[in-house]
Structure 1
Amino acid sequence: MSDLKAIKKRLRMEALARRDAMDETARIEASLEIAAHGTALLADAVRGRIVSGFLPIRSEVDLRPLMTALADHGARLCVPAIVDKELEFRELKRGAELVDQGFGTVAPGPDAAVLVPGIMLVPLSAFDRQGGRIGYGGGFYDRAIQRFETDGARPRLVGTAFAVQEIEKAPMASHDHFLDAVVTEAGVIEPRSRT
């Protein structure tokens, strides 16, 4: 294992342990605060745009309140589905049937429209104030973002996490993508410079 991978693994495990240590009530309340901050950040930008979110697994932020608010402001929502070990963003409509995706998550079925998001609410295990992100280690989001960029559709990347997941500096490899903003229950972090 390379030094960078080992460092990321350690930082990921430490941040996820802090997230897992939050009690359920604290996670629910923090998710509602994240929804309020995220709505304030994005409400004016989402009308008529495609926004990808995600449905929570384990102790992740519950983005359903934020996604509902953004839909109420005119966003068209999608969430990731895993297809041939890659992410495909399928339209999420109220009342749509969801199918098991493995990894403890669900997504709309294969008949749902496949969309290209202009704004992505990105899950993460750890983040820093420069927009650095450590994911879960599979590279799913980085590959999806790279595909969109290659096709000329670079989405706005908004990380969503609890404040306890912040680290001093996220080590970034050449294939990693910096976030344009991070929303936590403590507020919005918009990186000004990356040093």
Structure 2
Amino acid sequence: MASAEMKGQLRKQRLAVRDAMPSDLRKEKCEAMAALGAATIAALPGAVISGFLPIRSEADIRPLMDVLRGRGARICVPVVLDRETIVFRELNDATVLVPGSFGTLGPSEDAALLEPETLLVPLAAFDAAGQRIGYGGGYYDRAIALLRQKGLARRLIGIAFDCQEVPSVAAEPHDVRLDAILTESGLRIFSPEADVE
């Protein structure tokens, strides 16, 4: 079976498991994730960190983003511009949210464009080596590649529930490996040199 086909099957399976999680259990796991992330993810004043606003059954990390902002970090979230591109717009108390692609809400065009040093990335599945399966559009892979050409995106932290872990992900050349993963069980570091903590 081709790597892309295997990834497609794993994506579908893990998202189905995530979708089936009862809402009260998801809320409990999100609260644990936010507390553990707040205790382990460093945020220096002025650091630019990308998070995300949850859609469907994704983990809700807004409380974690609030903690990081409270420590002086500038928080941004991805906004889809077209079929190929996402940019990162600042999210703060004054940000106006407008409807975006894929049923999302995101900062309006008035929000500042930022280039994150750390990205908190939603995903469909991950393995113990830090390989991830995204949603299939390649948006993050392309954005991370562009940021890294500028010396940015030095920390890539996946955000998922434990139930999204799989035995192995067959990486393709364009795939970007995670430096760490944050789940309701804690922060697991794959690349110590990425200075996640």
**Structure-2-length-normalised TM-score:** 0.93
Q: Give the match for residue 104 of structure 2.
A: 105
Q: Give the match for residue 123 of structure 2.
A: 124
Taking the TM superposition and a 5 Å limit, the aligned residue runs for 1:8-47 are 8-42=7-41, 44-47=42-45
Taking the TM superposition and a 5 Å limit, the aligned residue runs for 1:14-93 are 14-42=13-41, 44-85=42-83, 86-93=85-92
> How much has 1:170 moved relative to structure 2?
1.4
From the superposition, tell whether residues 5 and 101 of structure 1 become closer, same or farther in structure 2 (CA, over 3 Å).
Answer: same
> How much has 1:192 moved relative to structure 2?
5.7
Q: How far apart, in 2, do the equivalents of 1:191 and 1:147 lie? A: 22
Q: Give the match for residue 154 of structure 2.
A: 155
Would the aligned equivalents of 1:130 and 1:192 in 2 still touch at CA under 8 Å?
no
Q: After superposition, give the CA deviation of every residue in 1:125-151 in whole Å (9 maximum; x if it has no partner).
A: 001111110000000000000010122
Paired letter, 2:67: A
- Name structure 2 gaps, 5 residues minimum: 193-197
RMSD: 1.4
Would the aligned equivalents of 1:46 and 1:73 in 2 still touch at CA under 8 Å?
yes
How many residues are aligned here? Answer: 191
Q: How far apart, in 1, do the equivalents of 2:89 and 2:74 lie? A: 11
Would the aligned equivalents of 2:158 and 2:182 in 1 still touch at CA under 8 Å?
yes
Q: After superposition, give the CA deviation of every residue in 1:12-43 in whole Å (9 maximum; x if it has no partner).
A: 0110011011000111111111111111121x
Q: How far apart, in 1, do the equivalents of 2:152 and 2:140 lie? A: 15
Would the aligned equivalents of 1:51 and 1:121 in 2 still touch at CA under 8 Å?
yes
**Would you identify which runs of 4 or more consecutive aligned residues in structure 1 move more than 3 Å?**
none
Would the aligned equivalents of 1:145 and 1:155 in 2 still touch at CA under 8 Å?
no
> How much has 1:97 moved relative to structure 2?
1.1
Secondary structure at the residue paired with 1:149? helix
> How much has 1:104 moved relative to structure 2?
1.4
Q: Give the match for residue 115 of structure 1.
A: 114
Q: Is the counterpart of residue 181 in structure 1 residue 180 in structure 2? A: yes
